[in-house]
Amino acid sequence: MIGEASGLAPDRGLNILYRVSMNTLMNLTDTDLTQNNYSTGQQTNNTRLSANTPKGLLAGSIVKAGTVAGTVLACTAAAADYPLGVVINNAVGYPFESSSGVASGKCPYLHGSGTVFTTDLYETAIIGGAVLTTPYAAGLPLYCSPNGLLTTLTGGTEGGNFVVGICLIAPSASDPFMVVQMRI
């Protein structure tokens, strides 16, 4: 897999290949730690999520500024959502793993146009649960979905209005990781 250091953590979610900037100032909210990532038809039909997907913000998800100063929330496709960056670590983590987000209350995220990362977290279904028919391909702009994940769709219902990044290498059947260069 591109950007993988070892096969020991195949579900790492996000691997930083080139970092322009990282923000560690913003705080997590209760919602960031408890959001259910596998409950709706779209989420349960997304092949990148499963019943084992942890709750809370996920590595590779997109965040926006919260309404309380100094906090972040999952970004959605709403017109008023301005994406800040891409989360580096799962907020809650997995069993037997460091839970630094819970312990510190911080949400480290990547930002800065030019940052390059790989992620295996992106939309594969649309709101109704049908398969996403706009495939990921090199050169396509990526937007924020209603679930705070990367998508090729735009326009408010299925995807946001702001380009979050550009797909450099599309995911494939043999390598589910997508390489993205950020635009925010």
Q: What is the C-alpha to C-alpha distance for residues 135 and 13, in angstroms, rounded to an integer? A: 20
- Tell me how far apart the terminal alpha carbons of the chain are, to the nearest angstrom: 25
State which H helix or E strand residue 17 sits in. Answer: strand 14-18
State which H helix or E strand residue 102 sits in. Answer: helix 100-104
The answer, yes or no, to whether residue 98 has pLDDT greater than 80, is no
SS3 content of the chain, % helix, strand, coil (to 5): 10, 25, 65
Q: What is the pLDDT of residues 115-129, one digit of tens each?
A: 999 999 999 998 888
Bridge partners, residue 143, by sequence: 151
The answer, yes or no, to whether residue 135 has pLDDT greater than 70, is yes
**pTM confidence score:** 0.88
Q: What is the C-alpha to C-alpha distance for residues 4 and 102, in angstroms, rounded to an integer? A: 25
Per-residue pLDDT at 133: 85
Q: What is the C-alpha to C-alpha distance for residues 118 and 143, in angstroms, rounded to an integer? A: 15
Q: What is the C-alpha to C-alpha distance for residues 176 and 4, in angstroms, rounded to an integer? A: 12
Whats the size of the chain, residue-wise? 184
Per-residue pLDDT at 95: 59
The answer, yes or no, to whether residue 4 has pLDDT greater than 60, is no
What radius of gyration do the chain's Cα atoms show?
Answer: 15
Q: What is the pLDDT of residues 28-83, one digit of tens each?
A: 999 999 999 888 777 888 889 888 888 899 999 999 999 999 999 999 988 889 99
Q: What is the C-alpha to C-alpha distance for residues 177 and 103, in angstroms, rounded to an integer? A: 29
